[in-house]
Amino acid sequence: MEKIIIIGAGGFGREVKMLIDQMNLKGNKYEFLGYFDDGVKTGTIINNNEVLGSIDDLLKSDEKINVIVAIGSPDIKKKIVEKLLKNSNIAFPTLIHPSVIIGDEFVSIGKGCIICAGTIITCNIIIKDFVILNLMCTVGHDTTIHSFASFMPSVNISGEVVIHEEVYVGTGAKIINQLEIGEQTIIGAGAVVSKSLPERCTAVGIPAKPIKYH
Ligand SMILES: CC(C)(COP(=O)(O)OP(=O)(O)OC[C@H]1O[C@@H](n2cnc3c(N)ncnc32)[C@H](O)[C@@H]1OP(=O)(O)O)[C@@H](O)C(=O)NCCC(=O)NCCS
């Protein structure tokens, strides 16, 4: 079994631990060692698993280790990954829950992604690195999702959509076909996106409209 640790000891981190457990039920793959988190005291026990240290502690490690970054916020996730890339002992596997449906036809998924239970990814789709698709998302044909984007539960992305880097999509949002979402844009929970959105805005509502730029 390969050793794996989770960055982020919060709620999503515990859900990713569940994902690893469910992958292991289909054939032991990963030995879970514990969490690393800058905001939680080393030695804290979370559901019988230990917080082993901070990100800096992990950077010093000279052991070959698989790391999964269980942080929903795209910018924080990216900053942590950029730090960890300095340690060549660290590998970033993609975790895919056994219930996920992925079409056989021309789907590519990069490294460090987390694809949670119930998600469906159809055909001719490119998913780059460190993308999170939380529970029960759907990704339609000919869509491209760039690195560090995070999708909360039950987001539906239609066909031919382009999602740029570090986009965050709140739970239950729907993005209709042939749209483009600019880099670092945030889409509110429950939004229906009916027109392309520019970069670095927060858009909410039905239809989704930018309410601020950042
Ligand atoms: C869109 C979002 C990021 C905005 O957060 P924010 O930048 O802190 O903005 P605020 O909370 O100050 O809200 C600004 C305004 O937008 C409204 N608003 C916020 N989120 C909204 C949403 N999803 N739909 C409609 N209106 C929303 C607020 O009521 C507020 O309106 P007001 O100015 O009339 O009072 C956040 O509300 C959201 O939807 N996050 C997604 C959370 C999620 O999916 N979590 C999943 C965890 S698994």
Show me where the domains of the chain are located: 2-93, 96-202
Closest residue to atom 31 of ligand 1, CA basis: 211
Count the alpha carbons within 13 Å of 171 in the hemisphere toward its beta carbon: 5
Mean pLDDT, the chain, rounded, equals 97
Same fold? 2-93, 96-202: no
CATH class label, 96-202: mainly beta
Tokens at 196, concatenated: 């392309």
Whether the pLDDT of residue 213 is over 90: the answer is yes
- Taking the C-alpha atoms of residue 12 and residue 51, their distance in angstroms, rounded to an integer, is 15
Q: Check if 93 has its Cβ closer than 6 Å to any atom of ligand 1.
A: no
CATH class label, 2-93: alpha beta
Q: What is the rounded average pLDDT of the residues 152-174?
A: 98
How many angstroms is it from 30 CA to the middle of ligand 1? 37
pLDDT higher at 27 or 182: 182
CB contact at 8 A, 16 and 6 = yes
How many angstroms is it from 169 CA to the middle of ligand 1? 11
How many angstroms is it from 81 CA to the middle of ligand 1? 27
How many angstroms is it from 188 CA to the middle of ligand 1? 6
Q: What is the rounded average pLDDT of the residues 1-11?
A: 96
Determine the 3-state secondary structure of 134 from DSSP: coil
Q: Check if 211 has its Cβ closer than 6 Å to any atom of ligand 1.
A: yes
pLDDT value of position 105: 81
Percent of the chain with pLDDT over 70: 100
Whether the pLDDT of residue 56 is over 90: the answer is yes
pLDDT value of position 199: 98
Q: Check if 53 has its Cβ closer than 6 Å to any atom of ligand 1.
A: no
Per-residue confidence band for 28, with pLDDT thresholds at 50, 70 and 90: confident
